[in-house]
Amino acid sequence: MQYRTLGRTGVQVSSLALGAMNFGAIGRTTQDEATAVVDAALEGGINLIDTADMYGRGESEEMVGKAIAGRRDDIVLATKAGMPMSDEPNHRGASRRWLVAELDSSLRRLGVDHVDLYQIHRWDPTTGDEETLSALTDLQRAGKIRYFGSSTFPAHRIVEAQWAAREHRLGRYVTEQPSYSILQRGIETHVLPVTEQYGLGVLAWSPLASGWLTGAIREGRDITTSRSTFMPERFDTSLPANRARLEAVEQLAAIADEAGLSMIQLALGFVTAHPAVTCALVGPRTLDHLHTQLAAADTVLGPDVLDAIDAVVAPGTDLAAHEKYDTPPALLDPSLRRR
């Protein structure tokens, strides 16, 4: 396992990190199974575990807390807040009111007195940067969080938040957690150059593209992944975007074969090869899944392999741009672009 400095924090984290979204109802993972995955991840050299309050409405945090009991100090523990936790309109977002209350709930579920990294799950257009950053700065000074970061922020919002921190003399985001894979390379255009400029650590989620890059999805096979049941449109090969993905996967499989690599090694090696990326978040449901992902921990792709990947999916290209989570609100809601 390789270790890298998380932005400018001085904290050393593993190049593969454990994402806990699949713990609980989402991944149909029991506590015993989640604990076994955590045990194997730590034994394999992973030292960063990332979860969120909204994963199973707190269930993932509870399961992570039980799995790490007694060894908290060996783990860089990260969680997130901001996504809806109920139908109550104030049980979401990045206001001081919500973040202060929800962090206490997350700490209780995790069974800890602090988290190492607290992330705003999505940019909240209804809340000003000063409001959010001042709340996070106070929580940091209170010792409840060590650092704070953003997740899936558009590049311009990352910049605005850095400026706001400087202007108001507040703590700043030190990490960004974007979606990044061979099939979704759009962040190479704006987000990654910005994170490099400001020295942010980058935790890349969905490096296996929701299962498309595991090797299980190939031409002529039935597509059966954990996500195909509740997001069937992402795997309907009659749709143009999915046909493009499938065609790319076939070409990538040939590149992996020629290089003597598995598809998972190719996919994770690609993400961790980018100089702006600190670590790739893997989200296994089972021990078998984790072991195949840990096998990629020390994979280093040569220039010839990276050039071949570029020829299949051009740098800065998203093969499924409609699945991006950082689209400006005005592009999604017509009322926001009309007087």
Active site residue 55: yes
pLDDT tens sequence across 274-319:
999 999 999 999 999 999 999 999 999 999 999 999 999 999 999 9
Q: Which residues contact 192 (CB under 8 A, 6 or more apart)?
A: 178, 202, 274, 276, 277
Question: Does 233 reside within a domain?
Answer: no
Q: What phi-psi label fits residue 316: left (phi over 0), alpha (psi between -120 and 50 degrees) or beta?
A: left
With bands split at pLDDT 50, 70 and 90, how would you rate the model's confidence at 39?
very high
Checking if the pLDDT of 327 tops 90, the result is no
Range of the domain at 103: 3-211+268-299
Q: Which of 55, 118, 173, 180 is catalytic?
A: 55
The answer as to whether 129 is a domain residue is yes
The count of domains in the chain is: 1
- State the pLDDT at residue 339: 87
pLDDT score recorded for residue 331: 82
Average pLDDT, the chain: 94
**Is the pLDDT assigned to residue 230 strictly greater than 70?**
no
pTM equals 0.93
What's the pLDDT tens digit per position in 4-19? 999 999 999 999 999 9
- Look at residue 275 and tell me if it is in a domain: yes
pLDDT of residue 233: 74
Task: Say if residues 52 and 203 touch (Cβ distance below 8 Å).
Answer: no
Confirm whether 62 is domain-assigned: yes
Residue 36 sits in a domain whose CATH number is: 3.20.20.100
In this predicted structure, the answer to whether residue 77 has a pLDDT above a threshold of 90 is yes
pLDDT band at 225 (very low <50, low <70, confident <90, very high): low
**Partners of 148 in the beta sheet?**
118
- Look at residue 7 and tell me if it is in a domain: yes
